[in-house]
Structure 1
Amino acid sequence: MLSFLKKAPKETFADLLKVDIHSHLIPGIDDGSPDMETSLHFLGKLSELGYKKVITTPHIMTDFHPNDSKTILSGLTALKSELKAKGINIEVEAAAEYFLDTTFEKLLAEGDILSFGAKKYVLVEMSFIQSTPNFEEIIFNLLTKGYTPILAHPERYTYWQENSRVFRHIQDLGCLMQVNIPSLLGYYGKPVKNLAIQMIKSGYIDFLGTDLHHIRHLDLFIEGKHNSEINALVKKYDFKNHLLL
């Protein structure tokens, strides 16, 4: 009879975002989830955190993860079947995290690109050692073909940490940007966290993503699910994640 006195559950950043656009949950095809059991466990926990939908994005990287649309979509079909069988209530789609190399340019020329959302978003990444020399040309070609590029985790490219003006240039090119939630939780160190927050406050960041690979990431999200700093950022700044629901 005193149930009305109970406090409402605290919101998590996942409750607020609703949709994750960056993870590695197709089992056994990249450096993310190694098997179906792990994928199901991770997706169940993401659902418990408050996510309603996950757009998982396996790597396509010539030298290390030579996936293609067929391997990814086949893996997605198997994953969705198991989710249904286990009664795990979360919507799952798949695209890819494309490394910007000559293979990507070939796939783009052939029209063999996995995108998501009505605006045909394409998640791309670069080397952590140096930027892609023809980055601007690739972004232009993506836009010309009707895609909307999203640069994954720009806060982690150390060669840009002393040149924040580059982010305005990337934005001016028409390329959106996505910060990793582990960056905001300090997983990659204080300089990366500070840059991520600075970029968000400067209006450069359109999406947040888990970039979920392994159990250490998942434990981080569970421990930090009520992190007041992240929740304040998500409430104040207009991230586009929820628009993909």
Structure 2
Amino acid sequence: MIDTHCHILPGLDDGAGSLEEAVEMAIHAANEGIHTIVATPHHGDGRHDNDASAVGLAVQELNLELETRNIPVQILPGQEVRVYKGLLDDLEAGTIRTLNDTQYLLLEMPSYGVPDYVEDLLYELHIQGLTVMIAHPERNIDFIKDPRRLQQLVGQGCLCQITSQSIMGLFGRKIQRFAIQLCKKNLTHTIASDAHNMANRKSDLSVAFSYLEKHISYKAVENYILNASRIVHNESIMTESYQYKKKIWSFI
């Protein structure tokens, strides 16, 4: 398996606090069946600024350590980029890093909601040839209140990445229900761990896939796994038309 969202690089953000913890996270991932991890430290969120070059250097150092210890996990570069007004300028300056330097940009909305200027930003990113992957939309207040806003963004070409721990209920029952509904309504394109540490935010990707195979379908899980591979290889991912019904969100 490939994990396309993980805060495994030590000391860069609120993820792994040390090299040893990063190694432990990689060992845990390998035991789950994960062979490739896209490192996605926070960038532009007001607390962390990890530009493309810093990420690349940290990835090289961690890969060397894992190779030395014979841990069968490869780390690829990326960022979890917060929506902010200077994003386009930073993209032009070369400080933004897509997932493994592909067309796919992992974009995080503020947890309090969706900024008014986001559609203009998404349009500019689109015309520059980037495909926006929205990180953990199931945890965004505006999307929970009005899921049709998320449907609209998907209709405009955005993709959605759901966190495995949301599927398993770590962030509460309401977010869990919303995450599962996003899977059922074909508004989910990949599942990732968003792992931060080994204490309370370690990867549970394999557990989430087992749960979804039971409650959604094997085919859906297969697509999520294949899409992760397509993302890191810069290939077009599999999408299905979402199901629109007037009352599909009545569970909220």
Shorter-chain TM band: 0.7 to 0.9
Q: What is the deviation of 1:242?
A: 3.4
Task: Decide which moves more: 25-34 or 132-141.
Answer: 132-141
**Paired residue for 1:217?**
201
Listed as ranges, the matches of 1:164-243 within 5 Å are 164-215=147-198, 216-218=200-202, 221=204, 225=207, 228-232=210-214, 233=216, 235-237=218-220, 238-239=223-224, 240-243=227-230
Q: In structure 2, how many angstroms separate the alpha carbons of the residues matched to 1:100 and 1:133?
A: 11
Instruction: Please give the per-residue CA displacement for 1:44-71, whole angstroms capped at 9, x wherever unaligned.
Output: 1101100121111000025200211121
Q: In structure 2, how many angstroms separate the alpha carbons of the residues matched to 1:128 and 1:38?
A: 27
8 A Cα contact 1:139 1:173, kept in partner: no
Name stretches of at least 5 consecutive residues in structure 1 with no aligned partner. 1-17
Corresponding residue SS for 2:145:
coil
Q: What is the deviation of 1:141?
A: 1.1
Corresponding residue SS for 2:110:
coil
Q: Which amino acid aligns with 2:122?
A: I
**Paired residue for 1:12?**
none
Q: In structure 2, how many angstroms separate the alpha carbons of the residues matched to 1:87 and 1:154?
A: 36
**Paired residue for 1:4?**
none
8 A Cα contact 1:150 1:177, kept in partner: yes
Change (3 A) 1:61 1:119: closer
Q: What is the deviation of 1:103?
A: 3.1
Listed as ranges, the matches of 1:113-124 within 5 Å are 113-116=96-99, 120-124=103-107
Corresponding residue SS for 2:207:
coil
Corresponding residue SS for 2:201:
helix
Q: In structure 1, how many angstroms separate the alpha carbons of the residues matched to 2:156 and 2:183?
A: 18
TM-score, with structure 2 as normaliser? 0.83
8 A Cα contact 2:35 2:73, kept in partner: yes
TM-score, with structure 1 as normaliser? 0.86
Task: Specify which structure has the bigger relative contact order, considering alpha-carbon pairs within 8 angstroms and separated by 6 or more residues.
Answer: 1
Indicate the RMSD between aligned Cα atoms, in angstroms. Answer: 2.0
Q: How many residues align?
A: 226
User: Rg bigger for which structure?
Assistant: 1
Q: In structure 1, how many angstroms separate the alpha carbons of the residues matched to 2:17 and 2:77?
A: 17
Q: What is the deviation of 1:234?
A: 6.4
Change (3 A) 1:242 1:70: closer
Q: In structure 1, how many angstroms separate the alpha carbons of the residues matched to 2:57 and 2:4?
A: 19
Name stretches of at least 5 consecutive residues in structure 2 with no aligned partner. 234-252
Q: What is the deviation of 1:160?
A: 2.1
Give percent identity, aligned residues only.
Answer: 23
**Paired residue for 2:130?**
147
**Paired residue for 1:89?**
72
Corresponding residue SS for 2:90:
helix
